[in-house]
Amino acid sequence: MTSNIYKNLEKNGITISNPPPPQGSYVPWLITGKYIYLSGQIPIINNELKYKGTVPNEVSTKEAIDAARICAINLLNQLNSACNNNLDLISKLIKITGYVASSGNFYDHPKIINGASDFFKSIFEENGTHARAAIGCSSLPLGAPVEVEAIFEQK
């Protein structure tokens, strides 16, 4: 029987794939007790950064929302790896933290990180509701406009 998670992935046109490799000296995920801590992901597709620059100067709000969604997909790929390819082991998304590289007069950080939040809710439904922080910063790794990290709980 296919769970709602996998049905929702299919409905959203998402295929689980190999996650991007770490961009520094860290592990992509760490399990402690019932919790899986996922390191921050940037909008990398096929080993290439999809968007580069600050919001809204070089990257539009619409592009940044898409970048946050790509970050969430990369987090999901990391989560799948952490769960030995069985997302049914996940009981709940606890928290995401999103970072937006932006100009000093940009204030729509929450709107950008909704790209990740809305994605997770579409996949995990009620178990995808979560606590969150949306933070503005001057720059992110490789010039990415968005980075998102997450904490999940296992069954």
- pLDDT block averages, 10 residues each, the chain of length 155: 84 92 91 98 95 98 98 98 96 98 96 98 97 97 98 97
Angle at 87 between CA 133 and CA 126, to 5 degrees: 50
Q: What's residue 33's pLDDT?
A: 97
Query: Cβ distance 12 to 122 under 8 Å?
Result: yes
Three-class secondary structure of residue 7 per DSSP = helix
Q: What's residue 1's pLDDT?
A: 46
Tokens of 94: 């606890």
Total residue length of the chain: 155
Q: Which residues, 6 or more positions from 62, have their beta carbon under 8 angstroms from its beta carbon?
A: none
Q: What's residue 101's pLDDT?
A: 98
Return the domain boundaries, the chain. Answer: 4-154
- Any idea which residue has 């996949």 for tokens? 123
What is the distance, to the nearest Å, from the Cα of residue 152 to the centroid of all Cα atoms in its chain? 12
Three-class secondary structure of residue 109 per DSSP = helix
Q: What's residue 22's pLDDT?
A: 87
Q: Give, in words, the CATH class of 4-154.
A: alpha beta
Q: What's residue 78's pLDDT?
A: 97
